């Protein structure tokens, strides 16, 4: 399985974006309204300029001077040059390792310089759950019938 398969399973879930000039508190309102944990930040030319997550707002806003309502998205976002990204062809396990190592919860997925999706830690947990449920099913079937011989009917 590849990252693109996880994106396909998510279906037509929209990729939420915000303008870097927007007030950060407005971005938090969008996070809450859409029930997502991160937003892609676009510049005036609609190019990706960064990502902002609930953790960015929480951990960065208290370190800065001034009222939280005054910060723009750009003030608190992770800029594109510091973003960790995945490719559609990456293995989910590699994205999990990246998230664990860097202690992040959202990874944008890029393809030929364009953003094609966002993988969250929840998406990866769903992937693992499905994988382990399938493996458990196959193991139970093997235990029931270790030789792979199917007996039909009543063989006395």
CATH architecture of 3-144: Roll (3.10)
Residue that wins the pLDDT comparison between 67 and 14: 14
Mean pLDDT within 6-12? 89
pTM (2 d.p.): 0.81
Average pLDDT of the chain?
Answer: 89
Structure tokens at 128: 């693992």
Token duo for residue 152: 């039909």
The ranges assigned to domains in the chain are: 3-144
Asked whether the beta carbons of 84 and 98 are under 8 A apart, the reply is yes
Query: What is the sign of the dihedral through the CA atoms of 141, 144, 145 and 151?
Result: negative
pLDDT category at 49 given cuts 50, 70, 90 is very high
Spatial distance between the Cα atoms of 85 and 156, rounded to a whole number of angstroms: 61
Question: How large is the average pLDDT for residues 62-70?
Answer: 70
Q: Residue 23: its pLDDT value, please?
A: 94
């Amino acid at each position: 399985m590849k990252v693109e398969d996880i994106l396909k399973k998510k279906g037509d879930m929209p990729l939420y974006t915000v303008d870097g000039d927007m007030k950060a508190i407005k971005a938090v309102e969008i996070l809450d309204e859409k029930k997502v944990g991160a937003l892609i930040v676009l510049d005036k030319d609609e190019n990706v300029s960064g990502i902002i997550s609930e953790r960015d707002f929480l951990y960065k806003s208290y370190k800065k001077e001034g009222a939280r309502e005054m910060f723009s998205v750009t003030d608190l976002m992770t800029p594109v040059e510091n973003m960790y990204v995945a490719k559609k062809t990456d293995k989910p396990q590699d994205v999990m390792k990246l998230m664990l190592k860097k202690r992040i919860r959202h990874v944008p997925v890029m393809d030929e310089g364009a953003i094609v999706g966002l993988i969250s830690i929840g998406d990866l947990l769903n992937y693992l759950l499905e994988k382990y449920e399938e493996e458990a099913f196959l193991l139970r079937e093997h235990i029931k019938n270790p030789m792979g011989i199917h007996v039909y009917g009543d063989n006395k």
